[in-house]
Amino acid sequence: MNHLAHPTMRRHEKQITDTQELERILQSASICRLAMTTDNTPYIVPMNYGYQDQTLYFHCAPVGRKLEILRKNPLVCFEIDCDTAIVDTGRPCDWSSHYTSIIGYGQATTIDDPQAKKKALAIITNHYSPGTTYDYPDENVRKVTIIQVDITSMTGKRSQPTSATKR
């Protein structure tokens, strides 16, 4: 995944460059915020997701604003974070945050093939319930839309805890 690293981070000392660590973050976070834009108007939505092989998978209803936007412009940005905490130092101008995050870019497509949809649903399900398998009824599969985002670049960042009080 090294070819996916996005080199423009200002605070290089906070950058996560280890590909295994980036994979761990992608596998462990709960929510992915998917950002898109059309007609100079940004739109961001928090979504459940699954990750495998440099690809994010999301499920949604077959109609809605995000699908309308993605049909016009399939380029997306995404953000994932975990291990977050506000650090209250007792001096408001010195407060800080602890976090581990990834910001990335990709191209979205929808999956129409029923078997490919089932595979994507299994990836999403496994993200939240590892090792569990389900039978996805064909009727349910027909009613869901799967968004696939092929990641083109991403950057990981971490702000480490100190001895300050967490809040």
| Residue ranges of domains in the chain | 2-145+154-159
Burial class of residue 137, CB neighbours in 10 A (0-12, 13-18, 19+): exposed
Predicted confidence (pLDDT) per residue in 35-79, tens digit: 999 999 999 999 999 999 999 999 999 999 999 999 999 999 999
Token pair 């650090």 in the structure block, residue: 87
131/122 Cα distance (integer angstroms) = 10
Neighbours of 156 (CB within 10 A): 25
83/100 Cα distance (integer angstroms) = 6
Cα Rg of the chain, angstroms: 18
Contact of 22 with 6, CB cutoff 8 Å: no
pLDDT(6) > 80: no
156/17 Cα distance (integer angstroms) = 7
Q: What is the pTM of this model?
A: 0.85
Of 111, 107, 110, nearest to 78 (Cα)?
A: 107
> Any residues with CB less than 8 A from the CB of 39 and at least 6 apart, and which?
72
Instruction: Just give the CATH number of 2-145+154-159.
Output: 2.30.110.10
Model pLDDT, residue 148: 98
Model pLDDT, residue 67: 97
15/18 Cα distance (integer angstroms) = 9
Model pLDDT, residue 167: 38
